[in-house]
Amino acid sequence: MSTTHFGFQTVDEAEKARRVRGVFDSVASKYDLMNDLMSMGLHRAWKAYTIAVSGVREGQRVLDIAGGTGDLARAFARRVGPTGTVVHTDINEAMLRTGRDRLLDEGLVLPTTICDAECLPFPANSFDVVSVAFGLRNMTHKERALAEMCRVLKPGGKLLVLEFSKVAKPLEKAYDWYSFSVLPRLGQWVAGDAASYRYLAESIRMHPGQQELKAMMKAAGFGHVDVHNLTAGVVALHVGIKC
């Protein structure tokens, strides 16, 4: 049986999917509050930058993968207007339901579907932009997911991968202390769940760094990939253009 990483642990691939689902089932109700606390509000600026770089225009079609509580889907919907389409997806039902309810509360009705990024239920060449924010690192077969994102993009379409990455070396020790000492305690205090936030910190360390992910995107079919380091590399935005 094939194995993979769940944080710092080595587990069966099927076991990882179950455990990741458990993490996000647990954190869904407090996800937005915890994002604000963990990043000191910076996640809002990172997402706003992603929207700006996307260049999304009125009438375009956007696929938001691992869309969770709907931050990017909402912003994209404002850009594409009534003639465009934003499809809001996630593999986790609790996260997707939370996001759908938030969007409905704001008067936004978007196509919403549970789907696995490694096997997207959409035809080839059907989206102008695909986005995935803070979701790629939880996927078991990242290469397969990136190839699927490339498949569903139109030629010349753009993939936006916003994800935690490798922080600049002078900040490594402070970042490790914050990740492994502060975050689990914050998770316990706010969400009653230290273990899930310990996993999130570990999953960041196991995720490919900036150059490795750039190479993976090129191997998946993206002809040009730019890397935008944000907040000293705490987060990176990878932008891939389909050939």
Tokens for 228?
A: 């935008």
Q: Which helix (H) or strand (E) holds 223?
A: strand 222-230
Strands 85-90 and 3-6: unpaired
* C-alpha distance from residue 42 to each of 36, 88, 169 (Å): 7, 23, 20
* Cα dihedral sign, 230-72-132-225: negative
Distance CA 33, CA 204 (A): 19
Residue (of 185, 161, 176) closest to 54 by Cα position = 161
Q: What are phi and psi of 7, to 5 degrees?
A: 65, -130
Question: Is 117 marked as binding a ligand?
Answer: yes
Question: Is 73 marked as binding a ligand?
Answer: no
Question: Is 69 marked as binding a ligand?
Answer: yes
Q: Spell out the residues 6+ positions from residue 222 whose beta carbon is closer than 8 angstroms to its own.
A: 146, 150, 159, 240, 241, 242, 243
Question: Is 90 marked as binding a ligand?
Answer: yes
Binding-site residues for S-adenosyl-L-methionine sit at 69, 90, 116-117
The annotation places the binding site at 69, 90, 116-117
